[in-house]
Every structure is written in C-alpha cells, then in structure tokens.
Amino acid sequence: MEAVGQLLRGWIDEGLVPGASLRIMHRGEVIFACDAGRTSLEADGLPVTADTLFDLASLTKVAATLPALLLLMQAGALREDDPLSRFFPDCPEEKRSITILQLLTHTSGLPADLAERRRDSLLRLPELLYALPLQHAPGERVVYSDMGMIWLGLLAEKAAGEPLAQFLERSVWGPLGMKQTCFCPSQKSYANIASTEYCQLTQRYISGEVHDEKAYAMGGVAGHAGLFATADDLCRYARMWLTGSPPLLSPEIRSRATQCRTEGRGGWRGLGWEIKGAAEGSSCGSGFFPGSYGHTGFTGTSLWIDPQQELAVVFLTNAVHLGRDHRLRQLRPILHDAVTAQLNRA
C-alpha cells in the first residue's frame, strides 16, 4: 500500500490538501497507516500525527447519531416505524407520521438545510423543526437532509433519557475503545487538532470548534455534525461493523442498517449510511463492490466499508482549510481506486 501513501503525500506536496490521516483495514486488521501534512497552513500548524483530531462533519451522522439509535432499537426503546409523534406529541400535524426510518433514509420530506446558515444564529429547537415546510410527502423520495438528522439527535436524547454525548460515551465510544472521540474537544486535552475554514466573524481559522454553522449554534453537539475523532478511533468503529467485534450491535441490526431501503426513489440509502449501487460515480471509486456502505463529511472526511472484500478505508483531511473550492471530491475516488488496485494485486 506504500504506493497509496505516495499518492497522498504527493497531493499534500501539491497543496491539494493541507494534511491527512489514512487507514486501510483488511479482515479486521489495519494493514496501512499514513499521517502526513500539517494541521494548518499557518505558521503554528503542527505535523499531522496519529493523535490528530479531525472535525468529522457529517460522519457524525453515522458515527454518533446512527449507533445511538441502533442501540436504542436493539434495547427495544424505539422502533424503525415509530412516528415522530411518539416522542414529540406537540409537533405539527403534517409531521406527526414521519417515521424514524424515513429520517434515517433521508426520505422524511424535510428540506436539506436552512436558507441561511450563520455561526452566530440562534436556533430554537424543536420549534425550528416544527416550522420547516415539507418539500415533499414523507417517504416519496431521497433528499439528503441535515435537518432530519438534527431531529434524530433530539429524538435519541429523549429515548435515552440523557444528553447525546453522555449516552454515546457510555454506550458506544467507551465500549469500542474510542478514547479520543468527542464533541467539543478541549484545547488543553487535545493539542493537535486539524484547522478547518477561515471564519470571517472571528477573523481566524476555526480550530477545536465545529465547522458546521448549525452545530456551532447548537453548542457543538448535534445529530448531523460536531464530532471530532482520530483515524485510529474510526478504525475501531469500522472494525465493529466489519467483524462484529466488540459485539456492540447484533449481526441482524447491522445487516438491516446496511441494506438499501430507497431504491427507485432518487438515491441509495440504508439507515444513515450511503449504499453504493451499480452505477459509477461514488466517492469510494469503482473498486468497491455494490452494497458497500459509507459516508463523507464536508470538512474533507470519509469512511467506506466493503463487506465483500472485508475492507474499510478511513480517509480524514481538513481540505476545507483551503476554502470550499477544493478538489477532494475528485480525489476521493482516485484514492479508493488506488487502494483496491493494490489490494487486488497482493
């Protein structure tokens, strides 16, 4: 896999990404690790190491909100077909029948995002969610929605009876040994954090605070964004999905979560996960088999798992440090194709 490392280091030398942590896992074992570049292009930027925390952005959806909900389903505290009205009895009539399944598969009808996103916004929840007009009938089609995942974060807290971060630390990250995974990292505890975008409000690069405006306005803990982690911690999470070890989630519930539920409705979605279909164009490239599942994050992160090849690729960058017009969307499939090419050569 050294050829993959050379490819990644070349991109860093070209200035295409500031820094990156890459992990390639095969049959439950990490077979290649590469930490390269810097946490920031500023003078105080540190070398990226195995201890570098990355803002996972939308990987929060599958590394925080999803396992919380699946554990609660496994415990019988909620079901896929539970309507919102069970947990939010005062929600408006047109949203009362929206189910957890529809929220997890992005078929709830809620809009993708807010019309305006600012870090100094005041978000009143759940009132904001109650007021959002539905874009289509629930269940009709896939529209990837941050708003639906925000609602699921609130719902998980109600079902668990405790704050989302507290429940996850006790029930997910602790049992899996994900010791550096957290919301709202303390700069004193975590000295090496990859910087994200330049903030016009504060006139500085964002570091140690969530990049996503809505999550920041919510205090840094949200169902759609806000999570920070290292590549090694995400490998521990991926191993649980690939091998069932440690036995956090049952084989049945892992299988249910990774089956496409939305074929023919404008996207391939499992519970939380994006599912690779037969068509080309996925961020995991052409070498991952149909049925693979994964997710990406706006800051420059991704996790893809191919159960058929017993393969997982954790690819964390802070590409958004360069601004939003970066090339990572084009680079991701190239990197994954390089991984599968080397794997098939071995």
Model confidence over 119-137: pLDDT tens digits? 888 899 999 999 999 999 9
- Structure confidence at residue 240 (pLDDT): 98
Closest CA relative to residue 64, chosen from 144, 184, 205: 184
Q: CATH no. for residue 270?
A: 3.40.710.10
Q: Is the pLDDT at 274 greater than 80, yes or no?
A: yes
* Structure-token pair, residue 236: 């521990």
Q: Is the pLDDT at 278 greater than 80, yes or no?
A: no
Average pLDDT score, the chain: 96
Question: Given pLDDT bands bounded at 50, 70 and 90, which one contains residue 279?
Answer: confident
* Structure-token pair, residue 142: 């896939």
DSSP structure string for 92-134:
-GGGTT-BHHHHHTT-S---SS-S---TT----TTHHHHHSPP
Residues 6 or more apart in contact with residue 193 via CB below 8 angstroms:
39, 52, 53, 54, 185, 187, 207, 208, 228
Q: What is the pTM of this model?
A: 0.96
Give CA–CA dist 287/310, Å, rounded.
13
For the ranges 2-6, 189-193, 299-303, the lowest mean pLDDT is seen at: 189-193
- Structure confidence at residue 271 (pLDDT): 98
Average pLDDT over residues 196-218: 94
- Structure confidence at residue 102 (pLDDT): 98
- Structure confidence at residue 187 (pLDDT): 74
Give yes or no for a contact between 52 and 39, defined as CB atoms under 8 angstroms apart.
Answer: yes
pLDDT tens-place string over residues 146-204: 999 999 999 999 999 999 999 999 999 999 999 999 999 987 778 899 999 999 888 99
171 by DSSP, 3-state: which?
helix
Average pLDDT over residues 98-106: 98
Average pLDDT over residues 196-219: 94
Give CA–CA dist 81/201, Å, rounded.
42
Domain that holds residue 272: 1-344
Q: Is the pLDDT at 280 greater than 80, yes or no?
A: no
Number of structural domains found in the chain = 1
